[in-house]
Amino acid sequence: PPTPARFAQDKTQSAPPSAAAESAPAESARAEGKAVVFVYRPGKFVGRALEPSVFCDGVEVARMDNGRFFVLLLEPGEHRIHTTEEYKRVDLKLGAGEVAFVRFRLEAGMMKGRGNLYLADEADAFKDIKKAKPLGADKFKDTKLAVVDKAEAEALRKKYVK
């Protein structure tokens, strides 16, 4: 079984391993041996037209659309998920097979499409991701780390989001 994920949001904390990750059989060959990170933005009326950028390790991955999610398949180790303003970030340390959930939230009063990222607990993430749709292929800026294919993203959601 995977070891507990370690992550930081300005400091290191430890989290229990994902029960979904431990019990689900391997489905995506691409995900095998990788850390899996769901980045999601719950659907909200306020700011729905704004599409802020999300980066992984300094590379712009996608423009985050309202009510959508995308999946990153990362090499085990340390990674930083951040917005245009790099101090608004979640630092992760994940092993192969571990799963993390990163929630994007627009900040009140922001009209430039910026917000903040938060490490979400499984229960909240499951509730929000079940309602979300996979991010459209046209929103991705770099496809090396992200799952762009909607069917593959749905299969990973089915596997990890209970």
What does pLDDT average to in each consecutive run of 10 residues of the chain (162 residues)? 41 39 47 90 68 88 90 95 82 93 75 74 92 93 91 92 89
Question: Cα–chain-centroid distance for residue 81?
Answer: 8
For residue 27, what pLDDT is reported? Answer: 47
> How far apart, in whole angstroms, are the C-alpha atoms of residue 2 and residue 112?
39
For residue 3, what pLDDT is reported? Answer: 39
Which residue in 9, 145, 35 sits closest to 94, CA to CA? 35
For residue 89, what pLDDT is reported? Answer: 85
Contact 41, 48 (CB under 8 A): no
Reported in sequence order, the residue ranges of the chain that DSSP labels E, i.e. its strands, are: 6-8, 12-14, 35-41, 53-56, 59-63, 68-74, 77-82, 89-94, 99-106, 115-119, 133-134, 146-147
Which residue, chain included where needed, has tokens 């229960």? Answer: 123
With a CB cutoff of 8 Å and minimum separation 6, the contacts of 24 are: 159, 160
For residue 106, what pLDDT is reported? Answer: 73
Residue 162 DSSP SS3: coil
Distances (CA, A) of 65 to 18, 82, 136, 147, 158: 26, 15, 8, 15, 21
